[in-house]
Chain A
Amino acid sequence: EVQLQESGPSLVKPSQTLSLTCSVTGDSITSGYWNWIRKFPGNKFEYLGYITYSGSTYYNPSLKSRISITRDTSNNQYSLQLNSVTTGDTATYYCTRGERFDPFDYWGQGTSLTVSS
């Protein structure tokens, strides 16, 4: 069975950089698309971006130049980096597998992030 597990800090100060990692078992990140999605308090979802089987990336334009998604194929992990965080980045962050013609079929349990001084 495919499993995804997010890891990272639960609290980050404003203006700092958020780094989260998604560890994948049961599938290889060298196949398919691997995504980051977040859910704000109040339960609105926002798509952040993906990294593909070949290492190509796509980012939501709303995040402008603040976001970066990288991967470590040797450990079957991929990571999210979000720079210059604000309180508006407080959310639960999920890593998921899925692409345009396939649903987000496997999700991590989500990691709750608070941005506060």
Chain B
Amino acid sequence: QIVLTQSPALMSASTGEKVTMTCSASSSVGYIYWYQLKPRSSPKPWIYLTSNLASGVPARFSGSGSGTSYSLTISSMEAEDAATYYCQQWSGNPPTFGAGTKLELK
């Protein structure tokens, strides 16, 4: 199965700071999904097919990448962005998830 490695596992950012987190695949995938998870909630789809924002996601978020290397960027950190972000692939079976990047507000 395709293993997704997310880095960093934990990061903190101040309001207004640019944030970038990465997702590396053990073999080439065609696209990546990103999900946002906050405590006591279910995951929310955040970015689909690598770079498309899900409905309601602020425009300060963006996604990019290809092959084995993908990233999620926040152009200017807001307090509400503090959460854990997971990448997920379904280019190969079974679908797999990364271990998550926990983003905290500094």
A53 at interface (Cβ–Cβ under 8 A)?
A: no
The answer to whether residues A103 and B33 also contact, given A44-B99, A47-B94, A47-B97 and a CB cut-off of 8 A, is yes
A43 to B90: give the CA distance in the assembly, Å. Answer: 19
Total number of A-B contacts with CB less than 8 angstroms?
A: 47
Residues of chain B within 8 A (CB-CB) of A103 are 33, 35, 45, 48, 54, 88
**Interface size class for chain A?**
20 to 34
Which of A7-15, A24-32, A104-112 lies at the binding interface?
A104-112
B54 pairs with A43, CB closer than 8 A: no
A62 to B96: give the CA distance in the assembly, Å. Answer: 12
The answer to whether residues A110 and B45 also contact, given A44-B99, A100-B90 and a CB cut-off of 8 A, is no
Residues of chain A within 8 A (CB-CB) of B100 are 43-44
Residues of chain B within 8 A (CB-CB) of A94 are 42-43
B84 at interface (Cβ–Cβ under 8 A)?
A: yes
Residues of chain A within 8 A (CB-CB) of B94 are 47, 58, 60-62
A67 to B28: give the CA distance in the assembly, Å. Answer: 29
Residues of chain B within 8 A (CB-CB) of A101 are 49, 90
Residues of chain B within 8 A (CB-CB) of A60 are 94
Residues of chain A within 8 A (CB-CB) of B93 are 58
B95 at interface (Cβ–Cβ under 8 A)?
A: yes
Residues of chain A within 8 A (CB-CB) of B99 are 43-44
B61 at interface (Cβ–Cβ under 8 A)?
A: no
B90 pairs with A105, CB closer than 8 A: no
B42 pairs with A108, CB closer than 8 A: yes
Residues of chain B within 8 A (CB-CB) of A44 are 97, 99-100
Q: Could you list 12 examples of A-B contacts with CB < 8 Å?
A: A43-B100, A45-B86, A45-B88, A47-B95, A47-B96, A47-B97, A60-B94, A62-B94, A103-B48, A103-B88, A105-B45, A107-B43
| Chain B positions near chain A (C-beta within 8 angstroms) | 1, 33, 35, 37, 42-45, 48-49, 54, 84, 86, 88, 90, 93-97, 99-100
6 additional contacts (CB under 8 A) given A94-B42, A103-B88: A47-B95, A101-B49, A104-B35, A104-B45, A105-B45, A105-B54
